[in-house]
């Protein structure tokens, strides 16, 4: 692919006005109407027109710049070197950052507590390999007869350039890259394994630098994390609320209880006689890790009296009588 900047005699950091000014001058000098019978001038005019159409369109220019080597020299660098005999200060490189990509992953509450590695799939936007971002097919197109492929006509009265009406300034039959539909980009499917940080909350977004679409600097991957809920286990802020079934006799007489939470932490505690169902025990520092500090929330264990299955009507009647007596004493 030719260097469009060199064809127009401009720098890579040139503005749109610089590009238009350079094209108008070259177009007037090289137009086929001013150079009849000179095929070289016609070819140069077509090349200059193609350079202008690419560099004057921000999207096409972005794609084209990605195909240039980052250390390509400006046309006048050698001239400056002759006079100064020193290194010419470099202008900032024209950077084209890649686009960010988005994806979503579903994890369990336990995985959000401990952190985990997850395989995810998402779509990146890459330069079309079929046309190298030029948005044109490899085959030759039919040349417009009115403008001889230039895309422009010189007005015989005022000598001004105007867009050719027959080809709408294309200079040739309309053509496009079938692979990318003339966008210069193609979507490609990517599968990667990424680390999910511990204590990540539901609907939070995790940013992974440089995993987005490629460019002079790659974009980032923005991963939305969805955390599935569990029965009898809930996250409240950085605390973990768990339901712990306790035998009814232990709630009545008292005793020691061992409880292993769904996230794997084991807790031992004493239950006093007559402890009501729904009583909560707090285990400090075993919850989710805080984002702003190294501290953790708590594990809150809610004791739920577990009523045994009573198959005997006599035992059920005795238990009902005891409960009724207990209710009368409370009132």
Position 164 in a domain: no
Q: What's the whole-model pTM score? A: 0.56
In sequence order, what DSSP letters do the residues of 66-126 get, joined into one string?
HTS-TTPPPTTHHHHHHHH-SPPPPPPP---PPPPEEEEEEE-HHHHHH-EEEEEEEEEEE
Q: Compare 72 and 113 and report the one with higher pLDDT.
A: 113
Answer with the one of 227, 260, 294 that is the final residue of a domain. 227
| Percent with pLDDT over 70 in the chain | 79
Number of Cβ within a 10 Å radius of residue 173: 11
**Within this chain, do residues 41 and 125 fall inside the same structural domain, yes or no?**
no
Position 159 in a domain: no
Position 37 in a domain: yes
User: What separation in angstroms does the CA of 182 have from each of 5, 104, 127?
Assistant: 22, 29, 11
Answer with the one of 188, 206, 227 that is the final residue of a domain. 227
**pLDDT tens readout for residues 211-270:** 998 877 889 999 999 999 888 899 999 999 999 999 988 998 999 999 998 888 899 999
| Percent with pLDDT over 90 in the chain | 34
**Within this chain, do residues 114 and 212 fall inside the same structural domain, yes or no?**
yes
pLDDT band at 166 (very low <50, low <70, confident <90, very high): low
**pLDDT tens readout for residues 196-205:** 999 999 999 9
Residues 215 and 68 sit within 8 Å (Cβ to Cβ):
no
Position 147 in a domain: no
β-pair type (299-306, 161-163): unpaired
**Within this chain, do residues 279 and 221 fall inside the same structural domain, yes or no?**
no
**Within this chain, do residues 222 and 283 fall inside the same structural domain, yes or no?**
no
pLDDT band at 51 (very low <50, low <70, confident <90, very high): confident
CA distance 249 to 256: 12
> The domain that contains 197 carries what CATH number?
2.60.260.20
pLDDT band at 80 (very low <50, low <70, confident <90, very high): very low
Range 181-191 average pLDDT: 82
Position 118 in a domain: yes
Position 137 in a domain: no
What's the token pair of residue 90?
A: 């470099």
Round the average pLDDT of the chain to a whole number and report it.
80
Domain that holds residue 271: 233-330
CA distance 233 to 109: 9
Confidence check: pLDDT of 329 > 60: no
Q: Tell how far CA 263 is from the center of its chain.
A: 31
**Within this chain, do residues 117 and 15 fall inside the same structural domain, yes or no?**
no
CA distance 248 to 7: 89
**Within this chain, do residues 88 and 105 fall inside the same structural domain, yes or no?**
no
**Within this chain, do residues 119 and 216 fall inside the same structural domain, yes or no?**
yes
Position 160 in a domain: no
pLDDT band at 89 (very low <50, low <70, confident <90, very high): very low
> The domain that contains 14 carries what CATH number?
1.10.287.110
In this prediction, residue 75 carries a pLDDT of 45
**Within this chain, do residues 268 and 193 fall inside the same structural domain, yes or no?**
no
Answer with the one of 95, 121, 147 that is the final residue of a domain. 95
- Terminal CA-CA length for the chain: 94
CA distance 89 to 61: 24
**Within this chain, do residues 32 and 48 fall inside the same structural domain, yes or no?**
yes
Position 158 in a domain: no
**Within this chain, do residues 199 and 248 fall inside the same structural domain, yes or no?**
no
In this prediction, residue 88 carries a pLDDT of 39
Q: What's the domain count of the chain?
A: 3
**Within this chain, do residues 219 and 251 fall inside the same structural domain, yes or no?**
no
Residues paired with 218 in a beta bridge: none
**Within this chain, do residues 202 and 266 fall inside the same structural domain, yes or no?**
no
């Amino acid at each position: 692919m030719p260097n469009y900047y060199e064809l127009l005699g401009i720098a890579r950091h040139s503005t749109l006005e610089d590009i238009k000014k350079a094209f108008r001058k070259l177009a007037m000098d090289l137009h086929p109407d001013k150079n009849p019978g000179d095929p070289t001038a016609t070819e140069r005019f077509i090349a200059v027109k193609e350079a202008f159409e690419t560099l004057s369109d921000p999207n096409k220019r972005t794609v084209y710049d990605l195909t240039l080597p980052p250390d390509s020299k400006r046309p006048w660098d050698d001239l400056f070197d002759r006079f100064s005999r020193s290194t010419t200060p470099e202008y900032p490189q024209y950077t084209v950052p890649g686009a960010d990509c988005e994806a979503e992953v579903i994890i369990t509450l336990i995985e959000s507590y401990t952190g985990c590695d997850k395989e995810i799939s998402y779509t990146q936007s890459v330069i079309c390999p079929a046309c190298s971002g030029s948005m044109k097919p490899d085959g030759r197109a039919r040349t417009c007869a009115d403008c001889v492929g230039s895309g422009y006509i010189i007005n015989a009265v005022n000598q001004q350039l105007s867009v050719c009406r027959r080809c709408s300034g294309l200079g040739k039959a309309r053509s496009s890259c079938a692979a990318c539909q003339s966008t210069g980009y193609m979507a490609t499917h990517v599968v990667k394994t990424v680390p999910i940080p511990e204590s990540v909350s539901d609907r939070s977004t995790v940013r992974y630098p440089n995993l987005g679409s490629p460019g002079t600097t790659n974009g980032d991957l923005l991963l939305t994390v969805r955390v599935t809920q569990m029965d009898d286990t809930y996250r409240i802020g950085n605390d973990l609320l768990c339901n712990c079934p306790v035998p009814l006799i232990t709630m009545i007489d008292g005793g020691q209880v061992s409880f292993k939470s769904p996230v794997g932490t084991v807790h031992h505690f004493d239950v006093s006689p007559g402890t009501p169902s729904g009583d909560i025990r707090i285990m400090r520092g075993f919850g989710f890790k805080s984002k702003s500090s190294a501290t953790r929330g708590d594990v809150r264990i809610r004791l739920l009296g577990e009523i045994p299955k009573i198959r005997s009507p006599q035992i059920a009647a005795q238990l009902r009588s005891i409960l009724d007596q207990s209710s009368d004493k409370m009132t």
